[in-house]
Chain A
């Protein structure tokens, strides 16, 4: 059973609009969350993270929101650019198991010019 879920396999957004990628988790012990971005033929690269003591973290055009009671987080990209087209993985860690993280299945974002 997947502990980290990304229920939208794909998402298309017009350039300049907001992209919202969603992630749900089931393990209440998770206390640190990360988003990774992956282009074809490249490995994933770290994008942004959030600790469970916060409900929002912002880095330029990227903002991650965490709703602990709903076990839900979302990544907002504003404004979306064609170069943001990639697969986005949500990941979570409970900090107890040798720095392991659990990855979601990913959402493929297409930003249309």
Chain B
């Protein structure tokens, strides 16, 4: 597609539920990033993929968070047993390479609210 697409744009769930957030990167972009952003804060790095593999997942806050990118294109961020503190905007970005000049194109984000 022309840009990075994230779905859903808004998700409201109850504490303890399971949530999946989807990211469709720009076609041909090999690197894909997930960030989350709380109100008034900068984007917090979660994980990035180079192709199908997670190149760095050191930002995932705990084992309730997991992300996959099985075919090197679409990625899904999965959150188990959601907590109120997981409420944030989850941003996805893609880029053509992870080396050298690595310019990110961001999606509009998925706003997650955990009640």
Does chain A bind chain B? Answer: no
Residue ranges of B at the interface with A (Cβ–Cβ < 8 Å): none
Chain A residues within CB distance 8 Å of chain B = none
